[in-house]
A and B are shown apart, each in its own frame.
Chain A
Amino acid sequence: MKPAVFAALVILTLALAGGRPEAHKPITSPYTYNEDVFPILRDRCGRCHAAGGVAPMSLMTARDAVPWGESIRTELIAGHMPPWNVDTAPGRFKNMPALTARELNVVLTWVTGGNPVGSLEHAPPPVALATASVLGTPDLELPLPEVTLPADTPERTQELSLPTAAWRSRSIRAVDLVPGTPAVVRSATIFIKPAAAADPGRRAMAPEHVLAVWVPGDDPVALDAAAFLLPAEAEIAVRIHYKKTWEYERTAMTDRSTVRVYFAAGAAPELRALTLSFIAPDPGAGSAGSPPVQRLTFSRVIDEDLRALAVYPGGGLANLDVDLHAIRPDGSRVDLIRFRPQPDWARRYWFDRPIPLPRGSRLEAVATVEEALLPPGAAPARRSGGSALELTLNVID
């Protein structure tokens, strides 16, 4: 072909294809980033997927989000993100970041349908990471010691002691963590140290030793019908899991987080912890050569009137399908939670309203290993071993 003809053909076809033939992907999504997708990503994902957030990428502009389309698709279809992991009706809980079915479909349609950006006039405003507390001014702010992850350390769990003089023998309605460098603070647990908390006789119905289970993007919940009570000699610690994303993998990172404490105004019943330890089946039960039957159960009748306020999983339940419910003495069934805890996303699920469990109610829980149904390309979940196969139910009288 002659060069002139070739050039003419190139010009013609460039015009036909909008000037970007090499980047063509058919647009079939009626939803655009600016008009439809951004508000969903901002409200459901923006606490982590914004510049400086703990997630390895921002999704707060079309330019940021488009290259991650395939990852967004696999994470959403696999049900990994947002990491809420609950199949019970979302209205049952406080602070629910889950997508509705319509929102899920809008985002999936957009990522598979050519990622149209939409009108530039509707380009979204910059999104900053939120740091203000939803609970207002804290009664105490306790800066933690500085922690540095050297360039060659991608991940570390660090336990730090908290000064307690100012909050001994107080009733507390909330404890929260504010990360100093949000990009590396992956999760945290604030708890009363076991030495002070040891109380073997009341192991099954102990006062709550875990003051906060913090994950990025989670707002603190303030107790109103109950409180954490701190023993006078209490030692309090915070265990922070630091993890660098690939962006900072070879960079030294320093964090100085802060713990915020909110005191209760008056006396309130003490929040207690009911530990539900699962019973694993006899490992010899399966026939030789077959994979072990992975079904764990728990059952227990409670001998006093209680109200359930919250529930959180032990680390050993990661990637199991867990169903916790109660059968009341009148035979009625109350579904407390159906969920699939993920490693790194162990959070405390606060019921929107206390759930009454009359004396004589039977708590039942089943945890099963369900082969993960993963879309092509998704990484399979792995069991994290070694941690407690238990659930903690927070209750008050």
Chain B
Amino acid sequence: MKQRLACLVLLSGLAGTAAPTQAIGPQRGARPAPEVPPVSMTCPMHPDVVDSTPGSCPICKMSLVPVRLESVWTCPVHAVVAQEHAGVCPIDRRDLIQVTMAVTFTCAGHPEINQIQPGTCPDGKATIKTRTLRPHGNHNPQYGGQFFMAPDNTHHLEGALPRARLFRLYLYDDYARPLPADRMNAVQARVVTRETFDPATRATTEIAAFRLRRAGRGYLEARIDTAALPAQVTAKVRFKSDAPEYRFDFTFTELSRRPAPASMSSAAPGRAPAAASASVPGGTPRPPAAATSAAAVPAPAPTAGPTSSPTAPPPAADPGLAPAAIPDSVPEILVQLQRRHQEIGDLVERGIFSAVWVPAFQARDLAIALEARLGELPAAAREAGEPAIKRLVRTAWLLDAFGDIGNRQQIVDAYAIFGAAVDEVVSAFQ
């Protein structure tokens, strides 16, 4: 989602404002680094763009800026820990994961000093090395497929159907760069085209599965038995032998075609080529990450009621970032809420998981508007509505998170809780 966010920032003219660092401070007990990582060039708006030489961003044309990147080990959840070797998180005892962080140098008592060159502080002491979290950048498909992030928050992958009966799985690192060969070799993966799921036991039985093998740089592929479209296939991936197996549910409504490069005259700054080259009937740009099936992605439903949105986004901004106009009357809010609920259900049904966050966040905003109206209700209805609104907001965020990682069952489960909360909210206010 960060990609989409970056786009709005640029468009709203905030690009020049200082972003706060996610500086994680001098490392506890860290020895002075024997060497400083080399300078790379990256885009201020697209951290996934990394080059060894200065130039401009291929996505938004901004000039690249220098950065020092270092591969370190950190806790899966607690990014405050960073060390140079694999190990166990001292906070929650989970295995450390390898991430890339930016290295800068600062001085004690001088947080304004934050530079990429080591040096000497005003008090004469050497600068202190700090590491900074880097956001996930590009969550856009590169080959016209469907893009997900792995639950380990590190790996990314893209499933594609370049030809009938051929499934490809592109594997990326945390910068959406092709996975290096040594890490590719450690991956065990298969693609499942048919399976059964028993809701009572929550057990899955595979009926047809095909081993994914390395076929080219950065991808695995397998011949599969499914030719008809739309095709639903599931990739089951273990990134190394001792890692958990993750599942990713892909839906293809058409064969995947690598999109043409974006033309800067028509593409919005910050939009990925994959997204910029596609359009949706009605002319509304679609979320960049949902590039699987251009014609299948709905434009967000027009908001009924007063369209009192004085801060309408610039024409090419992601529609999902536009705050949904909130109708004045409770019945109209409820109608809107149910419409979002249906939209999410439709997206889930069609496997367009990465677009789920748009109606989910609009429903969230509608629910928060209703929370302010709880005082108008009788006590019993308020007692029922209050926790349901909170559950709705929480599951809207959960749907956003699950939409990124593409596990159908998790999304379906979250959607069930979300739907029950919507029903409870509606009945409390009716």
Interface residues of A (CB under 8 A from B): 1, 6, 9-10, 12-28, 56-57, 62-63, 66-71, 74, 76-77, 79, 87-92, 98-102, 104-105, 108, 112-117, 246, 249, 290-291, 335, 338, 371, 373, 375-379
Contact = CB atoms under 8 A, between A and B. Distances in A.
B19 A1 contact: no
A92 B380 CA distance: 11
A290 B394 contact: no
A101 B8 contact: no
A91 B382 contact: yes
Given A17-B16, A22-B102, A290-B200, A1 B68 contact: no
A379 B394 contact: no
Contacts of A290: 200-201, 203
Contact of A23 (B80, B114, B371): B114
B14 to A, nearest CB: 6
Contacts of B20: 23, 25, 27, 62, 66, 114-117
B77 A25 contact: no
Contact of B18 (A19, A69, A92, A249): A19
Given A16-B16, A91-B382, 8 more contacts: A1-B53, A27-B14, A87-B387, A89-B383, A101-B393, A102-B368, A105-B364, A115-B20
A23 B401 contact: no
Nearest to B407: A376
A146 to B, nearest CB: 27
A56 B80 CA distance: 12
Contacts of A23: 19-23, 102, 104, 114, 132
A93 to B, nearest CB: 11
A103 B191 CA distance: 42
**B contact face: mostly helix, strand, loop, or mixed:** mixed
Nearest to B79: A70
Nearest to A249: B90
B64 A13 contact: yes
A38 B367 CA distance: 23
B296 interface: no
B6 interface: yes
Contact of A375 (B1, B65, B94, B398): B398
Contact of B391 (A24, A25, A87): A87
A23 B394 CA distance: 29
Contacts of B404: 376
Nearest to B246: A376
B371 A102 contact: yes
Interface string B113-150: 01010000000000000001101000000000000010
B91 A56 contact: yes
Contacts of B63: 9, 12-13, 16
Contacts of B103: 22
Max chain A C-beta neighbours (<10 A), residue from B103, B387, B405:
B387
